[in-house]
Amino acid sequence: MTLRKVAGLLAAFGLTVGLIGGGVGAQFYDHVTAQENINVGTFQCLITGATAGAVIAGDQKSVTYTAPAIMSSTPGSAPFYFTVKDTGSMPQSLTVSAAWAGSLSGHFSSILATPTAATIVAAGGTQTYNAGIQWSALDSGDLTTSGSITYTVNCNEAPYGAANYAAATCSAGTPIINVTETVLNDEDSGVSGNYWAIDSPYTRQITVWNTGANNYCATVSYSGQFTTRAGASPAGSPGTVTGGIQGTWSGGYRATFTGTLLVTPLWPTSGSVGTVDYNCNGLGTCTNLVSYLNQYFSSNAGFDQTWWGWQYNTDSHGIWVNSIDGNSGDITG
C-alpha cells in the first residue's frame, strides 16, 4: 500500500468520524426518585404455658397432657389449663372448640370454664383456657376404656380497628339469644349530628347472655353496605362528602342491662329473624324502626353500651373509624 493510499484512507476515516459526531449531538440529563415503604404486621399465636407435666411442642402450636389413671369408680375430674399468647403485632379474636376421640362413655364430659364465645386479645396479650375432663360415677362398662379431648383455639383477625377490643365481648353468663337480622334503609349520623349515609343492606348478629337474675349482657355485630348523602362528612366540618359514594362497613357494641324476659318471645331465639326495612328518609326520621329488646323483653332498663366501634371503608374516598376509643380518618367527596 502506497503512502498516497494510506493518506486517502485516513482522510475518509476522518470524514466518517466527523459525520457521526455531528449527527448525535450532546444532551444533559438528571433524575429523582420517590419511594413509599409499606410494612405488614405479624400475625401469630403460640402456647406459652400449661398444667404441670404437660408437654408443649417445639413449635409451641400444640400441648399434650396425660392425666393420671382413674383408679376409682367415684366421680372426679382431671383439670387442665393452657395459655395462648398473641405473639404478633395486631389484635386477635380467639375461639375454642372441643373434639373427642377414643372409647370413653357418656359418663365423661368436658370442663371449659373459659367462655366459648370469641375472646379478643391484644398484641402481646394472653388468654388462659381452664379446661379438662370430668366424670360421674363409673361402672364396669368403663373398665379399660380410654380416650382424649382436643381443644382447638382458632386465632383470627380482630374486627373493627379500635384499641379496646376486649370490651366488645361478654365474659360470663348463659347464652339465651343468638340470631341474625337483615336490615334495609337505616341511616348513619356523623359527629356533627348530620345524616351522611344510608346503610342498606346489612346483617346484624344479636347475642344475649343471662348473667344473673334479670341481668343481661348483649353483643351486637354489624356488617354491610352504605351509600353517602351529600353534605357534611362523617368526621364533620370542614369536611364534605358528595352523594352516591358506596362502601362497606362493620362494627358492633357490647351492652349490659336489666330486663324481664318474655315467656313467649316475638322473635325466635336462634337462627334468622328475617328482614326489616327501617324506611329512613336520611333526615333522622325512620317510620319502621324495630328494637330487638322489645322482641324478647317485656321491660328493660339501664341499657349501657360499655364498648362500641365502627369502621367505614371506600375504595378511593377514605376510611372512617368511629369508636368509643376515638375517631380517625374521614370519608370525603
* 90 and 225 co-located in one domain: no
Q: In degrees, to the nearest 5, what angle opens at C-alpha 28 toward C-alphas 23 and 34?
A: 135
Domain boundaries, position 241: 165-329
* 147 and 170 co-located in one domain: no
Of the three residues 157, 184, 219, the one that is the final residue of a domain is: 157
* 226 and 119 co-located in one domain: no
* 149 and 170 co-located in one domain: no
% of the chain beyond a pLDDT of 90: 51
Among residues 181, 169, 193, which one has the least CA distance to residue 307?
169
Residue 96 belongs to a domain with what CATH number? 2.60.40
Average pLDDT of the residues in 7-27: 50
Predicted local confidence at residue 3, as pLDDT? 39
Determine if the pTM surpasses 0.75.
no
Q: What's the Cα-to-Cα distance from 241 to each of 124, 232, 244, 328, rounded to whole Å?
A: 38, 6, 9, 16
Asked if residue 171 has pLDDT above 70, the reply is no
pLDDT digits (tens, 9 = 90+) for 272-303: 999 999 999 888 889 999 999 999 999 988 99
Of the three residues 107, 141, 157, the one that is the final residue of a domain is: 157
pLDDT-derived band at 9 (thresholds 50, 70, 90) equals very low
Domain tally, the chain: 2
Of the three residues 106, 132, 157, the one that is the final residue of a domain is: 157
Average pLDDT of the residues in 59-79: 95
pLDDT-derived band at 198 (thresholds 50, 70, 90) equals very high
> b or e along 270-298 (b: 16 or more beta carbons within 10 Å of the residue's beta carbon)?
eeebeebbbebebeeebeeeeebbebbbe
93 in a structural domain: yes
**Concatenated DSSP letters of 74-91:** S-EEEEEEEEEEE-SSS-
Asked if residue 306 has pLDDT above 60, the reply is yes
pLDDT-derived band at 13 (thresholds 50, 70, 90) equals very low
Mean predicted lDDT score pLDDT of the chain: 85
7 in a structural domain: no
* 282 and 298 co-located in one domain: yes
Q: Are 210 and 216 in contact (CB under 8 A)?
A: yes
Q: 87: number of CA atoms within 13 Å, CB side? A: 11
* 117 and 236 co-located in one domain: no
Cα end-to-end distance, the chain, whole Å: 83
pLDDT digits (tens, 9 = 90+) for 111-137: 886 555 566 677 787 888 888 999 999
Q: CB 139: neighbour CB atoms within 10 A?
A: 10
* 227 and 151 co-located in one domain: no
